[in-house]
Chains A and B, each alone.
Chain A
Amino acid sequence: MHIDPSLVEWSRAQFALTALYHWLFVPLTLGLTFLVAIMETIYVKTGDEWWKKTTRFWMGLLAINFAIGLATGIIMEFEFGTNWSNYSWIVGDIFGAPLAIEGLMAFFMESTFFAVMFFGWDKVSKRMHLLSTWLVAIGSNLSALWILVANGWMQHPVGIRFNPDTARNEMVDFWAVLFNPNAYSKFLHTISSGYVLASLFVISISAWYLLRRRDIQFAKRSIMVAASFGLIVSLFNVTTGDDSARHVAQDQPMKLAAMEGLYEGKSGAEIVTFGILNPSKKVGDKQEPFLVKVAIPEGLSLLSYHRVDAYVPGIRELVYGSKEHGILSVAEKMKRGKEAVAALAAYKAAKKAGDTAQMAAAKKRFEANSAYLGYGYLKTPLQAVPSVPTTFYAFHTMVGLGTWFVLLFIVILYFTMTDTLERHRKWLWAALFSLPLGYVAQEAGWITAEVGRQPWAIQDMLPVGMATSNIVTSPVMITFWLFAILFTALLIAEVKIMTTQIKLGPVELKEDSHV
């Protein structure tokens, strides 16, 4: 099968564009639903109408974000059919299951109760309303669970069997897919990063009120809730990040090497905390990989394998192989992959001819090499290396900003609890400008995960180039630009509506004479 390379690039660009925009909306929903649920719980427990009004203000902003996030998410699901039909054919039986559960269980749940939450304030009892708010929070996060189970499976495919008769993968162990280490670590790291973003959102907007010296009590109380929540979840986010990195080390060593710019493998590998990559560095040459770097000795070995002397393979060993460390070269994997591809073709031919003996022989040959099937479609060994600069800088941006957010939550919470926040205006400005940084960190995390696993749509099994639909390029190009315009318009609409709401402020609180 020949697929036009420009089709692959345009399909990738379109999916990346959709995911990038979708990911501007989703993490805020994941976290803000819980913050709103906590605020409403305080209202129901204390009976203080002030908290009800505070809850309603943040809920209004959540509703705007939720609606626009929905539009981008639905488009992504359709793209699996329109742009990635080969992918859907080969692994639809596995990938489709979590997506179907997401729709039936989580999405319906969050959408149904969202209506009760948003429109039902005076129509259902206090407790029923509170239950609805919690179910929206749980539902939206369960939605993320099933999507990330699917994504985790793409990073580390488990619980499947390849059926040579249909040339499709079939799920043989649902629990292996659900409990896949890549699935739970991705889920927890992703949702907790969403909680961090939502906490930043509330703190940042509240800081703006404090800087403008308006709605002071509302802003201080909102910051108190968000900074408390943010501190706990950001510490959890660090823990899940560590766990996630360990799974990457085990299942996607090339991605780890790219994340760290590790060209030469070593025992007791250092971790680079800050670095500028040498742009002329090539795999296997003698040039230094960094122009400048600050590194912690043995840090990478310790974090990846929990041993300071652990061996971490570099890009060179992963491409050219290492007998000493039992690493097969990509060239060898490609040879075995091509053997698997040829055996599959022979199986099909024998089946057509009704030759059962040939079928059995071809099947045996295929099974012996099927672990490297995806490598059979690569053209050169260096194709197995993702973009090192993109992965390295995206990863370090995410980690650096994540560390800053922990510090910010500690400082803001301390000033809030000592009632000195208004005096520290520099920190209020820092909090205000940390909101866009939160979005940068979100996108950087997504880029690390997805660019770092290239060239694979499914790790070691299906390269991206084999996953696209066999269609002409022009419709993909046209829809790329249409989506780019549409999503940008949606984003501008969201920002405009939100800023209008924020400028209005918590109107109901102002109408209340005792505040």
Chain B
Amino acid sequence: MEYTDAIIWYASWPVLIYIAYRFVLLNMKHHAKMERLEEYEQQCGGAVEPKACEKF
């Protein structure tokens, strides 16, 4: 019996988890930027004290 197909398919399991994890990290970076931008708009979008925007 030829097992190459089975070995490749079984090996796809950890690869799947790794790809899904990397995809989460990639989106998390973008999401974190969005959150900071939202926070910036809330704090610095209008007339605010310059000090409030220093951390950005």
Which residues A172-186 have CB closer than 8 A to chain B? 173, 175-176, 178-181, 183-185
| Contact bitstring B3-18, A, C-beta under 8 A = 1, else 0 | 1011101101100110
Least CB distance, A410 to chain B, in whole angstroms: 13
CB atoms of A188 and B9 under 8 A apart: yes
A260 interfacial contact with B, CB 8 Å: no
B23 interfacial contact with A, CB 8 Å: yes
- Interface segment out of the listed A91-99, A329-337, A413-421: A413-421
B25 interfacial contact with A, CB 8 Å: yes
Alpha-carbon separation in the docked complex, A173 to B19 (Å): 33
| Contact bitstring A151-179, B, C-beta under 8 A = 1, else 0 | 00000001000000000000001011011
B24 interfacial contact with A, CB 8 Å: yes
CB atoms of B34 and A233 under 8 A apart: no
Which of chain B's residues have a CB closer than 8 A to the CB of A416? 27, 31
Give the residue of B6, B13, B31 whose beta carbon is less than 8 angstroms from that of A191. Answer: B13
Which residues A391-432 have CB closer than 8 A to chain B? 413, 416-417, 419
Who on chain B is nearest to A237 by CB? B16
Who on chain A is nearest to B31 by CB? A224
Which of chain B's residues have a CB closer than 8 A to the CB of A181? 5-6
Which residues B10-46 have CB closer than 8 A to chain A? 10, 12-13, 16-17, 19-21, 23-28, 30-31, 34-35, 38
Least CB distance, A246 to chain B, in whole angstroms: 11
Assuming the A-B contacts A179-B3, A179-B6, A181-B6, are A233 and B20 also in contact, with contact meaning beta carbons closer than 8 angstroms in the complex? yes
Alpha-carbon separation in the docked complex, A116 to B31 (Å): 31
| Contact bitstring A191-205, B, C-beta under 8 A = 1, else 0 | 110010000000000
Given contacts A179-B1, A417-B27, 6 further A-B contacts (CB under 8 A): A42-B24, A173-B1, A191-B13, A228-B27, A243-B9, A416-B31
Q: List 15 A-B contacts (CB under 8 A).
A: A42-B28, A179-B1, A180-B6, A181-B6, A183-B6, A187-B13, A188-B13, A192-B16, A221-B31, A224-B27, A224-B28, A228-B27, A232-B23, A416-B27, A419-B38
